[in-house]
């Protein structure tokens, strides 16, 4: 939700929380028996710009404009509530707060989704089916195939390898799908 408010610091904290959730989920699953898929349903217009020096706080000032000598931040958004016509001379302390609203190129009441491809990470049985680039509509079909549900149920159910146990338990697949929705 922080991305829609153009709060880059809060969005990074959400990413760390998501990473912790994935880590805890992963440690509770048998990697030989459970397919874990981590992905997103969209990107955002969140970006890093300028030429910040090595070691610069990601929530800090990247540099100073060569036009008006005012500071600009490392993190920005393509659109959202952070647009401003005024020239502000903010400090690192101002922009380092996690609730700081990053600058946006175009003013909107909420930041929108972006159009970039999103990553899909998978581990466990059938994880190889997630390598490469796929349309997002491909993902639920692979999840159904791995879980032996829907049109892949019964005698159309796949097994991870000859002699191996049936594909990933449905609960694990659904847990990974649910995890992708938690931080929308």
CA distance 161 to 102: 49
CA distance 37 to 73: 33
CA distance 77 to 168: 38
CA-only gyration radius of the chain, Å: 21
Based on the number of CB atoms within 10 Å of its own CB, is 144 exposed (0-12), middle (13-18) or buried (19 or more)?
middle
- Which residues carry a binding-site annotation? 4, 41-42, 113
CA distance 128 to 147: 15
- Which residues carry a binding-site annotation for Zn(2+)? 4, 41-42, 113
């Amino acid at each position: 939700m922080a991305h829609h408010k153009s709060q880059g610091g809060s969005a990074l904290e959400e990413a760390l929380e998501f990473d912790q959730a994935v880590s805890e989920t992963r440690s509770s699953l048998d990697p030989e028996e459970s397919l874990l898929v981590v992905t997103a349903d969209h990107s955002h217009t969140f970006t890093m710009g300028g030429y910040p020096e090595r070691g610069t706080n990601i929530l800090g000032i990247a540099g100073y404009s060569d036009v008006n000598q005012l500071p600009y931040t490392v993190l920005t958004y393509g659109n959202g509530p952070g647009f401003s016509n005024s020239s502000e001379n903010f400090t690192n302390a101002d922009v380092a707060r996690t609730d700081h609203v990053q600058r946006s190129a175009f003013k909107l009441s909420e930041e929108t989704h972006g159009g970039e491809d999103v990553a899909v990470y998978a581990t466990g049985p059938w994880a190889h089916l997630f390598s490469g680039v796929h349309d997002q509509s491909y993902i639920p079909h692979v999840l159904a195939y791995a879980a032996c549900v829907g049109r892949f149920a019964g005698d159309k159910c796949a097994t991870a390898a000859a002699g191996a146990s049936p594909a990933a338990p449905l609960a694990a697949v659904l847990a990974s799908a649910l995890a992708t929705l938690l931080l929308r």
